[in-house]
């Protein structure tokens, strides 16, 4: 039996809106998505793959531009020139205007788009059947593989965009696939898309993988990005992940302590600084009331040292040492803190969400700290200022 | 702290003011309102400084240090402020506030009656009267209000073109528009595809119908074509016949021409032209040769004549040379002749002089006689005069007196004659000597003359000089003649040689021409040029006849050849057969009666095609417009911006909610702390009022309502107007004292109206001046009376 070689990828999300990234680096990241797709095409050609499987979300149909659509078509043309067949199922990102854009990019003769809501089959070569279906709102709640009836001999490959039950980290639920159904489906390999990280969900001889997104679309994915090379022959299915080169991206947690928050945060960011790195720093721990603007200040200070930097503030403002046992403390910061603490603690009808109260606490402390009382009062009272001509 | 000195330049009046101020109460009286405003501005260091051109304040703080505040207005109108520590001599930060200003109320009160019947002294915003901590609360509340209202500004968004919601909706709208355009583009492309297919089908059908319809026309065309082919065939046939006749005539002409001798190229026009030319040249050369012969004989005769003449001339010259004539002799002879002439002239001259001398010598006797006669006459006259009268024989002989004068005259004449005779005698003697010299000279000249004549005669051999010169001239002429003849001889010989050469050249050319002519004539067999030319003319006529026949043949063939015409005829015959076959193969719609049906279908289809074509054009145009419109939208940019706006909205909402929550907490704090602060402030006001009014029983209270702090004067004296003004002053001072934690700043009181200041108020200010510097700026006459301790400053 001839070796069948497949390149499996999904969730490229070409022309994704990339709101996790700064505006000035977003265009570069967008170009990197297209480069990643080109890399996959080149890799399929280099590895002499027979089939390229795209398990949904190839493009972000709402935001995809004509130039990117042309680039994808050009990629498919290159696959055609290398006699590589491409099978594509739509993902939820492509369900715009009845897959109009996806149909447009998949218009090359070597590309088959599964646009039916029932399982259908295409045979790119003798003895090989690729089964696929389109996941829509109508069939997203039903178990997809329950309706699959495999006919004929040969190699049967499944392609769908959905949720494999019990996949760690995947909390959405569309067209669920259960291990039992997978083992009973008769498929040699099920190529899944939807989850952005690479996961092996194989059950017994039934092989099933999420290829994961070949690029970082935001900071919800971590680590290296992959596509899968799947080889199928008489003795079984083998899956080899291949690394997709891309821009380094990290999400780091920075724990700060009350007295040394600034030093800890700045030291860590300085150590991580790289003009090529996309970094999201999750700052946690406690800060003093005087450090409420520290995180945004650090982001401003270090933004130029990274390709992209986001510093998320998850810190809590530490309770200042009480200067008075009286609830009505004369110290404003302390009194304000006590009030905010009471707001979160007291059960009441108009209880605010904790994140709102925490934010309010930071805003209030910041405002109290920034006010120059004398000037403020004089300005307010007298309405005086420097003459316009001055 | 107090202001020690103030100097300023008022902009409008262009005047400089410099005043020293006392630590206590300074009453400044200013006439001009503009100066007063500038003065107050300079004191307060704030407000409208437009009237101040330059100002300098010297402050003395609590520790005794002097600080100079300088205000300068640059060329661009901008104001530069700086503060200098006089002690250290360094520039320091400008104090945030160095005076407190208070404008005396002119009449009545600022506040309205309170609902409980109390008359309010003053109503101020809460934030303006609270102590520092509570003021921070107010500012923080304001900051929260600002934050809630400017959430987008906080996020760094340009909110000029409306709210973010509108911005986001517009971005979403652009994305939707792009998708609509894409859908429309897809629909148009699909429609265009269908239209193209349909147009293609209709074109095919139209083509079929056109084929059927034009088959009839083609059949007719083929008939015409066959007719044209047949006509062409016949024409070729006729052309071939004419060509054959012309060819026979050509052959005959060629035979005649071939029979003519010299047809092997001897009668070429070029050769004939050369023969004609050679013949003419020969004749010309012969004539030239004859001419040259005649000229040569003339030249020879001329040379011979010249030779004879030359011999004669030589003989003459030889004979002339035998007489020994020379130019030298002529020259010497001429010199001698001239000398002879000179001698002869001198001789003549001497002769004439001798003759003249002879004539003078001949007068010697006469001179002697004149002398003697004179002497006699004189002597006689003298004697007659001298002799006495009695001597005389008779009385008659006595000389009368008149006779004496005559005698005197005679004596004088006698004397003169004697003198003349003597003088003449002397001259004559002199001449006699000269004549002897002349005789000698004449003899010498005569000898020289004879000698020169002898020389000349021997030199000229007996000839005269003229003869000698004539002979010499003849000899010279003969020599010239000889030279001229020699030149003429040379010329004659050169001319003879040239003509001889030219005659030889003519001879050579004649020989060569004859040889060439002979060579040319040899091919034709003619003996002479004239016979050749006659034969040539005959040959040319035959040639012309041949050419004419050839032209006729060419005309008959029409640029073709006979085989070609025959081939054309064969092709035409084949084409006729083929066209007839095609014509027979074409179906004739007229024969089966479908012509009308096809015509109707054709019209319908053409109409539909036209409609589809216009729709196609419209679709293409719309597609172009859609493409253009779509090209103007960067879908990804718009979608990204919309998504970003959504994220921002979400963040802004959270921020707004947090700001509202913070504000709520801050408000609560303020509500808790404000009454207590107001009570403390009211107590402070009461104390100050008691001090400045020197009234122990006055009391001021403060209530807080709706963000305003209102002060009331309690007790029986609340209706006292002066007390009310003192109370207002006390409120200001109390508020200020809350802020004066470090130093007590001077109080500047403005009263620029002409209304007199109540005496009690001035007294109160005087009391205040015990605790801080007070500068009262008032109009002249507004201050009723001044105490001796008051520092009075008047600015006119």
The answer to whether A215 and A247 have CB atoms below 8 angstroms apart is: no
Neighbours of A253 (CB within 10 A): 13
Which residues are within 8 A (CB) of A159 and not within 5 positions of it... i.e. 6 or more apart? A53, A55, A87, A89, A114, A130, A131, A132, A190, A191
Confidence of residue B86 (pLDDT cuts 50, 70, 90): confident
DSSP B119: B
User: Does residue B590 register a pLDDT over 80?
Assistant: no
User: Does residue B155 register a pLDDT over 50?
Assistant: no
Neighbours of A141 (CB within 10 A): 10
* CA quadruple B522, B527, B530, B533: dihedral sign: negative
CB contact under 8 A, A332 and B133: yes
Choice between B168 and A133, residue whose per-residue pLDDT is larger: A133
Report the gap between the CA of B738 and the closest CA in chain A (Å): 10
Confidence of residue A389 (pLDDT cuts 50, 70, 90): very low
Residues of chain A neighbouring B135 (CB-CB closer than 8 A) = 371, 373-374, 376-377
Candidates B139, B176, B677, partner chain A, best to mutate (most A CBs within 10 A):
B139
Neighbours of B109 (CB within 10 A): 18
For residue B693, which of B663, B661, B730 has the smallest C-alpha distance? Answer: B730
Q: Which residue of B has its CA nearest to A15?
A: B636
Report the gap between the CA of A60 and the closest CA in chain B (Å): 9
Average pLDDT of the segment spanning B759-782: 84
| Phi, psi torsion values for B510, nearest 5 degrees | -65, -40
Q: Which residue of B has its CA nearest to A385?
A: B47
For residue A193, which of A12, A5, A7, A4 has the smallest C-alpha distance? Answer: A12
User: Does residue B110 register a pLDDT over 60?
Assistant: no
The arrangement of strands across the sheet holding A236-244 comes to A111-113, A85-89, A51-55, A4-9, A225-233, A236-244
Cα Rg, chain A, nearest whole Å: 28
- Alpha-carbon gap, residue B371 to B513, rounded angstroms: 125
CB contact under 8 A, A373 and B132: yes
DSSP B717: G
- Alpha-carbon gap, residue B161 to B148, rounded angstroms: 19
pLDDT at A375: 38
The answer to whether A57 and A91 have CB atoms below 8 angstroms apart is: yes
Neighbours of B784 (CB within 10 A): 11
CB contact under 8 A, A381 and B672: no
SS3 B89: coil
SS3 A128: strand
Average pLDDT of the segment spanning A152-160: 90
Average pLDDT of the segment spanning B646-668: 84
Alpha helices in A50-170 (DSSP H): 66-81, 100-105
pLDDT at A388: 28
The answer to whether A278 and A248 have CB atoms below 8 angstroms apart is: yes
For residue B136, which of A85, A352, A147, A331 has the smallest C-alpha distance? Answer: A331
Confidence of residue B562 (pLDDT cuts 50, 70, 90): confident
- What percent of chain A shows pLDDT beyond 70? 89
Question: SS3 breakdown of chain A: % helix, strand, coil, rounded to 5?
Answer: 35, 25, 40
Residues of chain A neighbouring B53 (CB-CB closer than 8 A) = none
Which residues are within 8 A (CB) of B462 and not within 5 positions of it... i.e. 6 or more apart? none
CB contact under 8 A, B654 and A378: no
Angle at B717 between CA B713 and CA B720, to 5 degrees: 95
Residues of chain A neighbouring B46 (CB-CB closer than 8 A) = 384-386
Burial code of B43-59, b = ≥16 C-beta within 10 A, e = fewer? Answer: bbbbbbbbbbbbbbbbb
pLDDT digits (tens, 9 = 90+) for A319-362: 766 655 555 556 777 778 777 777 776 665 456 777 788 888 88
For residue A308, which of A347, A352, A275 has the smallest C-alpha distance? Answer: A275
User: Does residue A387 register a pLDDT over 50?
Assistant: no
Average pLDDT of the segment spanning B568-579: 89
For residue B778, which of B758, B760, B787 has the smallest C-alpha distance? Answer: B758
Q: Has this prediction a pTM greater than 0.80?
A: no
pLDDT digits (tens, 9 = 90+) for B492-546: 888 888 888 988 899 899 999 989 888 888 877 788 888 888 888 888 888 888 8
The answer to whether A56 and A10 have CB atoms below 8 angstroms apart is: yes
- What percent of chain A shows pLDDT beyond 90? 47
Report the gap between the CA of B226 and the closest CA in chain A (Å): 54
Token pair listed for A57 = 């979300």
User: Does residue A376 register a pLDDT over 50?
Assistant: no
Token pair listed for B289 = 């040769």
pLDDT digits (tens, 9 = 90+) for B373-413: 989 998 888 888 887 777 766 767 677 777 788 888 888 99
pLDDT digits (tens, 9 = 90+) for A26-63: 999 999 999 999 999 999 999 999 999 999 999 998 88
Which secondary-structure segment (H or E) carries A129? Answer: strand A128-132
- Alpha-carbon gap, residue B140 to B666, rounded angstroms: 7
pLDDT digits (tens, 9 = 90+) for B10-59: 876 677 888 888 888 888 888 887 788 888 888 877 666 767 888 888 88
CB contact under 8 A, A376 and B666: no
Residues of chain B neighbouring A292 (CB-CB closer than 8 A) = none
The answer to whether B8 and B42 have CB atoms below 8 angstroms apart is: yes
CA neighbours within 13 Å on the CB side: how many for A284? 7
SS3 B145: helix
Q: Using DSSP bridges, classify how beta strands A199-200 and A207-210 pair: parallel, antiparallel or unpaired.
A: antiparallel
User: Does residue B172 register a pLDDT over 90?
Assistant: no
User: Does residue B568 register a pLDDT over 90?
Assistant: no
SS3 A78: helix
Q: Which of B136, B138, B634 sits opposite A65 (nearest CB)?
A: B634
Average pLDDT of the segment spanning A239-265: 90
| Phi, psi torsion values for A288, nearest 5 degrees | -80, 160
The answer to whether A244 and A214 have CB atoms below 8 angstroms apart is: yes
- Asked whether the ipTM of the predicted complex exceeds the cut of 0.90, the reply is no
Angle at B718 between CA B715 and CA B721, to 5 degrees: 155
Location of structure tokens 């290398």 = A82
Dihedral angle, C-alpha B636, B639, B645, B646, nearest 10 °: -140
Q: Using DSSP bridges, classify how beta strands A111-113 and A85-89 pair: parallel, antiparallel or unpaired.
A: parallel
Residues of chain A neighbouring B672 (CB-CB closer than 8 A) = 328
pLDDT at A371: 47
* CA quadruple B246, B251, B255, B257: dihedral sign: positive
CB pairs under 8 A between A and B: 163
The answer to whether B551 and B246 have CB atoms below 8 angstroms apart is: no
The answer to whether B263 and B257 have CB atoms below 8 angstroms apart is: yes
- Alpha-carbon gap, residue A280 to B157, rounded angstroms: 22
* CA quadruple A299, A302, A307, A311: dihedral sign: negative
Residues of chain B neighbouring A355 (CB-CB closer than 8 A) = 654
Q: Which of A262-276, A346-360, B172-186 has the highest mean pLDDT?
A: A262-276
pLDDT at A123: 92
Residues of chain B neighbouring A30 (CB-CB closer than 8 A) = 636
- What percent of chain B shows pLDDT beyond 70? 91
Confidence of residue B757 (pLDDT cuts 50, 70, 90): confident
The arrangement of strands across the sheet holding B100-103 comes to B100-103, B747-751, B774-778, B25-30, B791-795
Residues of chain A neighbouring B639 (CB-CB closer than 8 A) = 15, 17, 60, 62-63
pLDDT at A382: 40
The answer to whether B81 and B94 have CB atoms below 8 angstroms apart is: yes
User: Does residue A158 register a pLDDT over 70?
Assistant: yes
pLDDT at B69: 87
Q: Please spell the DSSP secondary structure of B579-629, one letter per residue.
A: HHHHHHHS--HHHHT-HHHHHHHHHHHHHHHHHHHHHHHHHHHHHHHHHHH
pLDDT at B328: 85
Confidence of residue A10 (pLDDT cuts 50, 70, 90): very high
DSSP A144: G
Report the gap between the CA of A208 and the closest CA in chain B (Å): 33
CB contact under 8 A, B640 and A381: no
Confidence of residue B261 (pLDDT cuts 50, 70, 90): low
Quote the mean pLDDT of chain B: 82
Distance between alpha carbon A241 and the CA centroid of its chain, in Å? Answer: 20
Residues of chain B neighbouring A68 (CB-CB closer than 8 A) = 636
CB contact under 8 A, B640 and A357: no
Average pLDDT of the segment spanning B122-127: 78
- Alpha-carbon gap, residue B97 to A379, rounded angstroms: 12
Average pLDDT of the segment spanning B169-178: 86
Lowest average pLDDT, out of B205-219, B346-360, B441-455, B713-727, goes to: B713-727
For residue A225, which of A209, A239, A238, A211 has the smallest C-alpha distance? Answer: A211
| Phi, psi torsion values for B55, nearest 5 degrees | -150, 150
Confidence of residue B758 (pLDDT cuts 50, 70, 90): confident
Residues of chain B neighbouring A63 (CB-CB closer than 8 A) = 175, 635-636, 638-640, 643
Token pair listed for A42 = 């080149």
The answer to whether A144 and A176 have CB atoms below 8 angstroms apart is: yes
Cα Rg, chain B, nearest whole Å: 83
CB contact under 8 A, B182 and A330: no
CB contact under 8 A, B182 and A97: yes
Location of structure tokens 């004089």 = A378
Confidence of residue A378 (pLDDT cuts 50, 70, 90): very low
Q: Which of A335, A343, A362 sits opposite B669 (nearest CB)?
A: A335
Token pair listed for A122 = 């295409």
Q: Which of A19, A336, A387 sits opposite B50 (nearest CB)?
A: A387
pLDDT at B419: 92
- Alpha-carbon gap, residue B373 to B388, rounded angstroms: 24
Which secondary-structure segment (H or E) carries B699? Answer: strand B699-705
């Amino acid at each position: 039996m001839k070796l069948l070689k497949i390149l499996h990828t999904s969730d490229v999300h070409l022309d994704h809106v990339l709101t996790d990234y700064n505006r000035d680096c977003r265009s570069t990241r967008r170009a990197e998505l297209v480069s990643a797709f080109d890399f996959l095409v080149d890799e399929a050609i280099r590895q002499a793959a027979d089939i390229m499987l795209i398990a949904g979300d190839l493009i972000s149909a709402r935001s995809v531009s004509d130039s990117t659509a042309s680039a994808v078509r050009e990629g498919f043309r290159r696959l055609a020139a290398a006699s590589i067949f491409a099978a594509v199922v739509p993902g939820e990102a492509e369900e715009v205007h009845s897959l109009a854009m996806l149909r447009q990019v998949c218009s090359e003769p070597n590309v088959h788009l599964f646009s039916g809501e029932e399982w259908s089959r295409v045979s790119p070569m003798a003895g090989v059947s690729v089964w696929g279906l389109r996941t829509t709102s109508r069939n997203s709640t039903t178990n997809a593989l329950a309706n699959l009836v495999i006919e004929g001999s040969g190699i049967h490959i499944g392609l769908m965009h959905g949720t494999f039950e019990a996949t760690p980290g995947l909390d959405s639920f569309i067209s669920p696939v259960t291990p039992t159904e997978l083992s009973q489906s008769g498929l040699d390999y099920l190529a899944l898309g939807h989850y952005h990280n690479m996961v092996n969900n194989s059950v017994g001889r039934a092989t099933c993988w999420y290829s994961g997104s070949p690029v970082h679309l935001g900071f919800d994915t971590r680590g290296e990005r992959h596509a899968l090379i799947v080889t199928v022959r008489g003795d079984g299915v083998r899956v080899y992940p291949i690394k997709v080169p891309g821009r380094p991206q990290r999400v780091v947690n920075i724990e700060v302590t009350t007295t040394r928050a600034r030093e800890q945060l700045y030291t860590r960011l300085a150590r991580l600084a790289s003009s090529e790195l996309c970094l999201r720093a999750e700052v946690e721990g406690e800060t003093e009331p005087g450090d409420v603007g520290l995180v945004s200040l650090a982001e401003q200070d270090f933004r130029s040292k990274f390709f992209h930097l986001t510093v998320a503030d998850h810190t809590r403002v530490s309770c200042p040492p009480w200067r008075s046992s009286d609830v009505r403390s004369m110290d404003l910061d302390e009194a304000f803190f006590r009030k905010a603490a009471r707001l979160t603690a007291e059960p009441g009808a108009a209880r605010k969400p904790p994140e709102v109260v925490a934010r309010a606490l930071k805003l209030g402390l910041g405002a109290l700290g920034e006010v120059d009382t004398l000037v403020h009062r004089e300005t307010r009272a007298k309405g005086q200022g420097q003459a316009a001509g001055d | 702290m107090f202001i020690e000195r103030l100097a300023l330049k008022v902009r409008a009046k262009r005047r400089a003011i410099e005043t020293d101020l006392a630590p206590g109460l300074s009453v400044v009286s200013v006439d001009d309102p503009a100066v007063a405003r500038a003065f107050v501005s300079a004191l307060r260091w704030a407000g409208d400084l437009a009237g101040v051109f330059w100002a300098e304040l010297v402050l003395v703080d609590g520790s005794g240090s002097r600080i100079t505040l300088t205000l300068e207005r640059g060329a661009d109108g901008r104001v530069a402020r700086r503060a200098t520590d006089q002690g250290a001599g360094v520039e320091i930060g400008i104090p945030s506030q160095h005076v407190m200003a208070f404008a005396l109320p002119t009449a009545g009160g600022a506040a309205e009656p309170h609902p409980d019947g109390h008359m309010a002294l003053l109503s101020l915003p809460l934030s303006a009267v609270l102590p520092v901590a509570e003021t921070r609360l107010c500012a923080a509340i304001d900051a929260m209000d600002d934050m809630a209202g400017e959430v987008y500004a906080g996020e760094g968004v340009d909110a000029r073109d409306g709210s973010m919601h509108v911005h986001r909706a517009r971005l979403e709208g652009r994305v939707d528009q792009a998708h609509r355009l894409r859908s429309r583009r897809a629909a148009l492309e699909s429609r265009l595809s269908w239209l193209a297919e349909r147009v293609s089908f209709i074109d095919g059908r139209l083509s079929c119908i056109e084929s059927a319809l034009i088959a009839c026309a083609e059949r007719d065309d083929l008939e015409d074509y066959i007719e044209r082919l047949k006509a062409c065939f016949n024409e070729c046939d006729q052309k071939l016949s004419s060509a054959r006749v012309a060819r026979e005539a050509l052959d005959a002409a060629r035979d005649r021409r071939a029979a003519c001798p010299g047809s092997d190229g001897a009668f070429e026009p070029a050769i004939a032209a050369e023969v004609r030319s050679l013949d003419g040249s020969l004749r010309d050369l012969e004539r030239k040769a004859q001419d040259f012969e005649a000229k040569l004989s003339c030249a020879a005769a001329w040379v011979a004549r010249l030779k004879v003449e030359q011999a004669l001339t030589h003989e003459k010259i030889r004979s002339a040379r035998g007489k020994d004539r020379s130019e030298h002799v002529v020259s010497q002879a001429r010199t001698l002749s001239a000398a002879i002439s000179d001698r002869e002239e001198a001789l003549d001259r001497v002769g004439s002089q001798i003759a003249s001398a002879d004539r003078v010598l001949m007068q010697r006797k006469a001179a002697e006689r004149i002398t003697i006669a004179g002497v006699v006459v004189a002597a006689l006259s003298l004697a007659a005069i001298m002799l006495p009268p009695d001597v005389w024989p008779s009385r008659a002989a006595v000389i009368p007196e008149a006779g004496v004068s005559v005698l005197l005259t005679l004596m004088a004449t006698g004397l003169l004659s004697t003198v003349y005779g003597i003088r003449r005698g002397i001259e004559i003697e002199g001449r006699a000597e000269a004549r002897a010299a002349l005789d000698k000279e004449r003899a010498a000249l005569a000898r020289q003359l004879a000698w020169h004549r002898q020389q000349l005669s021997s030199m000229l051999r007996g000839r005269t000089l003229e003869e000698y010169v004539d002979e010499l001239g003849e000899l010279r002429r003969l020599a010239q003649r000889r030279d001229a003849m020699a030149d003429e001889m040379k010329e004659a010989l050169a001319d003879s040689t040239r003509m001889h050469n030219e005659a030889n050249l003519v001879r050579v050319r004649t020989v060569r021409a004859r040889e060439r002519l002979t060579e040319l004539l040899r091919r034709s067999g003619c003996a002479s040029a004239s016979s050749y030319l006659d034969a040539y003319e005959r040959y040319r006529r035959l040639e012309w006849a041949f050419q004419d026949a050839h032209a006729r043949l060419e005309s008959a063939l029409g640029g073709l050849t006979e085989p070609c015409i025959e081939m054309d005829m064969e092709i035409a015959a084949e084409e006729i057969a083929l066209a007839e076959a095609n014509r027979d193969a074409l179906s004739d719609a007229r024969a089966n009666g479908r012509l009308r049906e096809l015509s109707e279908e054709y019209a319908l289809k053409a109409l539909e095609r036209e409609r589809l074509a216009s729709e196609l054009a419209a679709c293409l145009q719309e597609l172009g417009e859609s493409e253009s419109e779509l090209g103007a939208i960067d879908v990804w940019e718009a979608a990204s911006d919309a998504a970003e706006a959504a994220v921002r909205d979400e963040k802004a909402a959270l921020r707004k909610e947090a700001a509202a929550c913070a504000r709520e907490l801050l408000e609560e704090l303020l509500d808790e702390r404000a009454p207590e602060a107001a009570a403390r402030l009211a107590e402070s006001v009461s104390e100050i009022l008691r001090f400045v009014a020197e009234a122990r029983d006055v009391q001021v209270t403060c209530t807080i309502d709706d963000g305003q702090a209102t002060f009331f004067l309690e007790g029986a004296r609340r209706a006292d107007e002066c007390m009310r003004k003192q109370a207002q002053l006390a409120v200001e001072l109390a508020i200020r004292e809350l802020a004066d934690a470090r130093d007590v700043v001077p109080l500047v009181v403005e009263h620029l109206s002409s209304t007199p200041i109540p005496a009690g108020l001035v007294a109160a200010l005087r009391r205040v001046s015990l605790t801080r510097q007070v500068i009262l700026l008032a109009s002249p006459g507004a201050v009723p009376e001044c105490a001796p301790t008051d520092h009075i400053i008047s600015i006119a």
